[in-house]
Every structure is written in C-alpha cells, then in structure tokens.
A = this chain, B = another copy of it.
Amino acid sequence: MDNKRDILALLRAVAAGDAAPEDALLELKQSPFEDLGYAKVDFHRPVRQGNCEVIYGAGKTPEQISGILSAMHERCCGNILVTRLDPAAAEKVGKTAVLDYSPTARLAVAWPRADTPALGHIVVASGGTSDMAVSEEAALTAEAMGNRVTRLYDVGVAGLHRLLSNLDVLMSARCVVAVAGMEGALASVVGGLVDCPVIAVPTSVGYGANFGGLSALLSMLNSCASGVSVVNIDNGFGAGYLASMINQMEGAQE
C-alpha cells in the first residue's frame, strides 16, 4: 500500500472485474511480507542488482535469524546481510544458511552472490586501528551491495600527513565514509578536502569524556565542513548502505 502504482494497478483490476473488492483488500494487507509470529519478513524491496534485504541481528536468537533467512531465501536470490552477529550465533546460523562471515565486523552475507559488481568508488577512512570493527562493517556492507571500496585506515588527524599523502585516493571517491571515535575530527577535515558527500560515523572508541561516543557524535554533527552528514554511533552498516545508495545514483536530468 506504500506504492501508488501498486494501488492503481489493483484498482484497475477491480474495475476490470479481475479482482473482487474483498480480495483486493486482502491482497493489500497480506502481500508485501510474511508473518513468522516473532517477525514480519519484508519482501517489498525490489530484488535489484547487489541489493536484497538486511537483518539486524542484535536481540534476535539464532533460531529467529535462521527462520527469517529461510523465509527470505525462498523468495530472494541471495546476498542477504546479517549485522551485529556474534561469532557463536554465526556458527549456529551457518548450519542452515551459506554464510560469508567477518568476525571483525560481526557481519555475515548469506548466500553471497559470485557476480557482485564493483561499481563507482567509495572510500572508507578511519581515525585509528581501534575503529576497525565499525569501518569493516561499512566497507563489507558496501562491497556486498556492489560497490568498489578502498580502505584508508589509521589516518587520524593527529598525524595529518598520513591523511594528506592519500589525497589522490580521497579525491577520486564518489562518496567517503569517515569513521572516527575520540574527537571525531576526521569528518570535518575530510569534508574540507573532498567535493563529494561525506558520511560520518562516530564510534564509541575512547574513554572518559568520550561518554560512549557522544563526543565524536557531537563533533561530527557540528562539523563546519559542508557536505557532511552523520549516522548513529557505531552504525557502520547504515553508512555503508547509504554510501552505496549515493555511489550508485544515476546521472540527473534537467
């Protein structure tokens, strides 16, 4: 019901006598997802190139994840992302699904597609070695969705030459994901250097007045560089997904 064209098509079918009004209402209500009791699995997203569905793993049992994956796999060709999946759960889920699992990013791709493309260019830059879990979540998400990704790790602003010596890589990106904890200054500095959208990901790396990532979050929200937007603390997946959306934009027309 969230799609004008679908409603119009359905109404036309009713008008043509091809569908009874009661059946049409039923279809409106039931079609776009399957109800597993503990979850309503969503199939309304078109099965497009390098993009299927995503499962947020935290707070779900391995059994629930397996159930959702199975329901999806029956309708959806593959490349299903499972985020926030700890190794123990991954092992259990791996018994019912083909998983490509990264323990660093705690991310799995179920039934990975062999023919995933590597379009455009996304750069994932991070402030320090400790940000690697979040950075990899972003990078692997973007790769699974069909994007070419370059990793620039440990280029924090306290040693600016590490970042500046990679300016050519940065400037060739169509979208940059800037991952940083502590003071989160990386996003502003990168935002001032490039001309493409910068997605800032604050991480909870740090201690003391970091307050679980609040420091980097506020810093990034207040960035005085234009073109910078922010996702939730530690939300590497969200950044990778959005970067893919932006990188795969088709050219605009007047």
CB neighbours of A224 from chain B (8 A): 56, 127-128, 156-158, 182-183
Q: How many copies does the complex hold?
A: 8
Known pairs A11-B24, A21-B15, A213-B209; A183 contacts B249 (CB<8 A): no
- Does chain B have a CB within 8 A of A60? yes
Distance in Å from the Cβ of A67 to the closest Cβ of chain B?
A: 10
Asked whether, in the complex, the Cβ of B223 is within 8 Å of the Cβ of A158, the reply is: yes
Number of interface residues of A (CB under 8 A): 125
Asked whether, in the complex, the Cβ of B28 is within 8 Å of the Cβ of A7, the reply is: yes
CB neighbours of A89 from chain B (8 A): none
- Does chain B have a CB within 8 A of A120? yes
Asked whether, in the complex, the Cβ of B4 is within 8 Å of the Cβ of A162, the reply is: no
Asked whether, in the complex, the Cβ of B229 is within 8 Å of the Cβ of A231, the reply is: yes
Asked whether, in the complex, the Cβ of A40 is within 8 Å of the Cβ of B154, the reply is: yes
- Does chain B have a CB within 8 A of A70? no
The answer for the CA separation of A121 and B214 in the assembled complex, in Å, is 34
CB neighbours of A4 from chain B (8 A): 25, 167-168, 171
Beta-carbon nearest neighbor of A218 in chain B:
B215
Asked whether, in the complex, the Cβ of A233 is within 8 Å of the Cβ of B208, the reply is: yes
Stretch from A71-79, A90-98, A235-243 at the B interface: A235-243
User: Can you list, as one digit per residue, whether each of A230-254 has a CB less than 8 Å from chain B (1) or not (0)?
Assistant: 1111110011011001111111111
CB neighbours of A184 from chain B (8 A): 183, 185, 219, 222
Most buried by B among A24, A188, A231, A247: A188
CB neighbours of A206 from chain B (8 A): 222
Distance in Å from the Cβ of A89 to the closest Cβ of chain B?
A: 14
Asked whether, in the complex, the Cβ of B232 is within 8 Å of the Cβ of A59, the reply is: no
Given B25, B33, B232, which contacts A207 in the complex, CB threshold below 8 Å? B232
Q: For chain A residues 146-174, which have a beta carbon within 8 Å of chain B?
A: 148, 153-162, 164-168, 171, 174
Q: List 24 A-B pairs, Cβ < 8 Å.
A: A8-B25, A11-B21, A14-B21, A15-B15, A33-B159, A38-B154, A40-B155, A59-B205, A119-B253, A157-B225, A182-B223, A184-B222, A189-B189, A202-B208, A204-B208, A206-B222, A208-B235, A210-B222, A218-B219, A219-B219, A226-B241, A229-B231, A229-B242, A249-B252
